[in-house]
Amino acid sequence: MQERDLLKTAKLTFCALFWGCTGLAWAQPFDHQGLSHVLKGHVVDGKVDYAALRRDSLPQLKAYVKSLAQARPDTFAHGEQVAFWLNAYNALVIEQICQGDAPSSEAARGNFFRQSTFLVAGQERSLDDIEHRALRPLAHDPRIHFVLVCGANSCPPLHASAFSGTADLEADLEQAARSYTNDPKNVTIDWEHHKILLNSIFDWYRDDFGDLLAFLARYREANEGQRLLQGKWTLDYRDYDWTTNQTP
């Protein structure tokens, strides 16, 4: 009996040490401070001062983008992985625009999102690869669509610092969703005629949102949320403004 107890104790000790080491490995966050420094100096009300960024901080942005190449996001905790891909996407969009590319026309969008590739996490990836093959399957969270910024005026406002995978990420996503869905430019509700005019993001990613009315109701005042869940609503979508999200 005593021998069995000793063996059991040894096994438990091994497991504790193993998972403790694993926990330490998963706890190493990627350093996004370089991106935060660039964003804080050049994002105003969700728009980007690209001219000033090119002039003052392009080397820092390029250094951050270069650091993405050998990152191992699969070794990060889940929240850190989501933060990594969000930051990578937004940083690469900004860098492309600083270099003279922009998704302002249909032809340009094909190159911008699908043909241009970047070395991220050991692989050449396009922006579409990052969004649709890395981030969306990982996050399973429609709120990421309110913080992924494709460089156009109809995109969500750009967060003025990099995301982190701590509890701050959850708070940032929730705040972004609430702000976005209550902005009449993105969600205009005609209560009298039961019509809702939406940003095209809600159409393109409708499967991610599931029950869209229930999703929108979650971020309205209680009485408005209840009204959204009653009766039949007609949904329509705005044309997307692809002009660059440049500060005035």
Q: What are the residue boundaries of the structural domains of the chain, listed by start?
A: 30-181, 187-237
pLDDT for position 26: 53
pLDDT for position 127: 98
Average pLDDT in the chain: 91
pLDDT for position 16: 38
CA dist 62 and 227 (Å) reads: 48
Secondary structure letter of residue 47 according to DSSP: E
Between residues 10 and 187, the one the model is more confident about? 187
- Going by pLDDT thresholds of 50, 70 and 90, the confidence category of residue 105 is very high
> Are 73 and 80 in contact, with CB atoms under 8 Å apart?
yes
pLDDT for position 10: 44
In percent, the amount of the chain with pLDDT more than 90 equals: 86
Q: Which residues pair with 197 in a beta bridge?
A: 188, 236
50-85 tens-digit pLDDT: 999 999 999 999 999 999 999 999 999 999 999 999
Q: What is the pTM of this model?
A: 0.88
> Are 121 and 68 in contact, with CB atoms under 8 Å apart?
yes
- Going by pLDDT thresholds of 50, 70 and 90, the confidence category of residue 29 is confident
pLDDT for position 13: 41
